[in-house]
Structure 1
C-alpha cells in the first residue's frame, strides 16, 4: 500500500506542469531541466502519455511538429511532444508495430539525442543514441544508422575519447552502404566529416581540422542546395561555414572564427536553431578575443532570436556566469543573467 501511494505521488508530481493544450507554464530558465526530466522518465518507461496520437499517421504528424519545434527552439512545446512521442512510439512498437513505426521511433530518439547534447546530458544522450542506432539497424535505415553514428561520435568527443570519436565518424562516413544512397548519403558523409574535424580541433590538430572542413566544404559545393534539413540540421556550403566558427574556436584560433562568422548571412541560415547556434558561437568568439561589449550584444541578439534556448542552454548560462565575474557588468547583462536563471 505504501509503495502504491509513493508511486501515485511521484506520478502526480511529474504530471503537474503538463497542460492538455500542449504548453508548459514554467520559467524559461527551467525549461531545459523540465525537458530533460521528462525525456528521462519517458526513456525509463515512467509515467503515461497525455493526449496521445490515436494512430501511426497521427504519430508521424506529431513527429513533424516536434522537428518544427526543435528548429524554432520551442522548448516548452518539445517538453510535451518529444517525451510523448517516445512513450507512444514504444507502445505502438511493442503492440505489433511495423518497420515504418520502428523507423519513426529511431528518428525520435535521434531528435532526443540532439536535444540532450544541447542540454549537456551525456548519460541520457548515450542511451538515446544507442537506442536510435539499434532501431535504425533493425529496419535497415542507412541514413538513420549513419546519423546515430554521428551522434555517438559527438558524445564520445564530449567524453574526451577523441580516438574513438574519430573512428566512429570516419568509419561511418566510409561505409559502403552509405555510398549507395545518393545525394542524401553524400550529405550525411559531409556531416560525419565535420564531426571528425571538430574532434581534431579538440585534440589540438588545427591543420587536420581545416583539411577535413575543406573536404566537407568541397562536398557541400558539389551538392549545391541545402540537404537534410530535418536530418542533422541541414548540410550546405552555408552550414559548413557555420561549422567553421565553432571548429576554429575549438582549435584556439578565435580570429579565424571571427573571419568565418563575417562570411555568414544569418538570415540565410535554414532555421531559428541554426541562427541561434551561430550567434552563440560568435558570442564565444568575442569573449575569447576580449571584446566584452560585443559578446554581450551578441548574446542579447541570440535571446531575441531564440529566447527559450538562450535562457535554458547550459553553455550559454556558463558564458553569462563567466561574464558576470570577469569584469564590469551592465544593466543588460544583469537582466539577461536574471532571465536565464544565472545568479547575479
Structure 2
C-alpha cells in the first residue's frame, strides 16, 4: 500500500480505489511520524520556500487530493520546523499555519489525539508569532477538538472567549470575519449539545456578520473562508446535529454547490446533505448524495471516516443495491 501511494504522482490520480480507502490511514501515519520524530537537521529553508510549500498543501486540501497530502503534509512539517526561529514572528506564524492545516486534516480523518498535538503546537507558534488572525484560528481548532472530545463546555468557552478578544475588533474586516467564524464554531457546539435554540441564536449572529461583510470571501485560507454562503453551509450541519433534519434540508436547498469556494467545501456540503437524508430515513437520496460526492472528490469520499459511517448505516438499514455495494467496496467498508 505505502509503496503504491508513494510512487503515485502528486496529482493524486494514481492509486486504485482499494488504495484510496486506506489513504486516510496513510496520511495519519506519515503525519504522526513527522510530528513525533526528531527535529530535522538545520537546512535553512527560506520563508518564501516554506510559504510556497504551504500554498501547495492548502491547494491539495481544498481539492481533496489525499495522495498528494500524504506526501506534502509531512514535508511541510519538516520544512516548517527547520525554518522556525523562536523569536521570529514571520517564521512562527508560518509554522502555526502549517500546523493548523495539519490539524484540519487530522480532524477530518478523526485522528483526534494527534490533532490535539498539532493544534497545541499551532497555538504556541501562533501566540509567539503574534498574528491576531492565526491566534484566532488556533483557538477555533482547539474548540473543534474539545467538542469532538465531548468537552462541550470547554469548547464553547474557548470559541466565545477568542471571539471576544479585543484584538479582533481592531483587525479590520478580516478580524470581523474571524470573530464570525468563532461564533459559528460555538453555535455548532451548542448543536452537538442539543441546544437547538442557542445554536440558532449564534448561527443567526454569524450570518448577520457575514451579510455585513458581503459576498467576497474573507479568510480564504482559514478553513475555507467566511461568507453568507459558508454560514448557510454550517447551518445545514448544525441543524441536523441539533435534531432537525427537515430544517437542515431546507437550508441545504438554498446552497448552490458550484458557488462554494472549494472542492472540499462542495464535498463537505454533499456529505452533510447525505447525513440529513440518512436521519430522515431517505436511503435512496442519501446514497445519491454520497455518489455525487464520490464523483466530485473520490479520494475524500473513499477515505473519510464520516462517509464510511454513513455507508455502514445504509448497509445496516435495508437491502444493498449494486450501487451501494460498489461504493462500500471502493471505500473499504465490508
Taking structure 2 as the reference length, what is the TM-score of the superposition?
A: 0.93
Aligned 8 A contact 1:23 1:80 in 2: no
Pair 1:69-2:50 in alignment: no
Select 1:39's aligned residue among 28, 31, 34: 31
Pair 1:237-2:228 in alignment: yes
Give ranges in structure 1 of 5+ residues lacking alignment.
1-12
**1:93, distance to aligned residue in structure 2 (A):** 2.2
Aligned 8 A contact 2:2 2:26 in 1: no
What's 2:183 paired with? Answer: 193
Can you list the C-alpha shifts for 1:65-123, whole angstroms capped at 9, x where unaligned? Answer: 111111100111111011111011112226x8833222111100000000000001110
Q: Relative to 1, partners in 2 of residues 1:223 and 1:290: Cα closer, same or farther, differing over 3 Å?
A: same
**1:20, distance to aligned residue in structure 2 (A):** 9.0
Pair 1:88-2:79 in alignment: yes
Matches within 5 A, 1:282-321: 282-321=273-312
CA distance in structure 2 between the aligned counterparts of 1:136 and 1:218, rounded to whole angstroms: 28
Pair 1:18-2:9 in alignment: no
Aligned 8 A contact 2:144 2:155 in 1: yes
What's 2:331 paired with? Answer: 340
SS in 1 for 2:166: coil
What's 1:204 paired with? Answer: 194
Select 1:129's aligned residue among 119, 127, 143: 119
Between stretches 314-323 and 84-93, larger displacement belongs to 84-93
SS in 2 for 1:168: helix
Between stretches 270-279 and 322-331, larger displacement belongs to 322-331
Can you list the C-alpha shifts for 1:187-225, whole angstroms capped at 9, x where unaligned? Answer: 111110011101111111111100000000000000002
SS in 2 for 1:43: helix
Aligned 8 A contact 1:53 1:62 in 2: no
Matches within 5 A, 1:89-128: 89-93=80-84, 98-128=88-118
Q: Relative to 1, partners in 2 of residues 1:228 and 1:56: Cα closer, same or farther, differing over 3 Å?
A: same
SS in 2 for 1:160: coil
SS in 1 for 2:6: coil
CA RMSD of aligned residues (A): 2.1
CA distance in structure 1 between the aligned counterparts of 2:38 and 2:264, rounded to whole angstroms: 29
Select 1:154's aligned residue among 144, 149, 154: 144
What number of residue pairs does the alignment pair up? 328
CA distance in structure 1 between the aligned counterparts of 2:108 and 2:5, rounded to whole angstroms: 22
CA distance in structure 2 between the aligned counterparts of 1:174 and 1:161, rounded to whole angstroms: 20
SS in 2 for 1:177: helix
Select 1:330's aligned residue among 301, 317, 321: 321
CA distance in structure 1 between the aligned counterparts of 2:47 and 2:207, rounded to whole angstroms: 38
SS in 1 for 2:22: helix
CA distance in structure 2 between the aligned counterparts of 1:21 and 1:97, rounded to whole angstroms: 37
Q: Relative to 1, partners in 2 of residues 1:17 and 1:273: Cα closer, same or farther, differing over 3 Å?
A: closer
**1:19, distance to aligned residue in structure 2 (A):** 4.1
Pair 1:246-2:234 in alignment: no
Can you list the C-alpha shifts for 1:29-56, whole angstroms capped at 9, x where unaligned? Answer: 011000010110000125979xx99533
Can you list the C-alpha shifts for 1:159-185, whole angstroms capped at 9, x where unaligned? Answer: 111111110000000001111101001
SS in 1 for 2:243: coil
CA distance in structure 2 between the aligned counterparts of 1:262 and 1:135, rounded to whole angstroms: 40
**1:14, distance to aligned residue in structure 2 (A):** 7.5
Question: Deviating runs (4+, > 6 A) in structure 1?
Answer: 13-16
What's 2:208 paired with? Answer: 218
Taking structure 1 as the reference length, what is the TM-score of the superposition?
A: 0.91
Aligned 8 A contact 1:284 1:295 in 2: yes
**1:305, distance to aligned residue in structure 2 (A):** 0.8
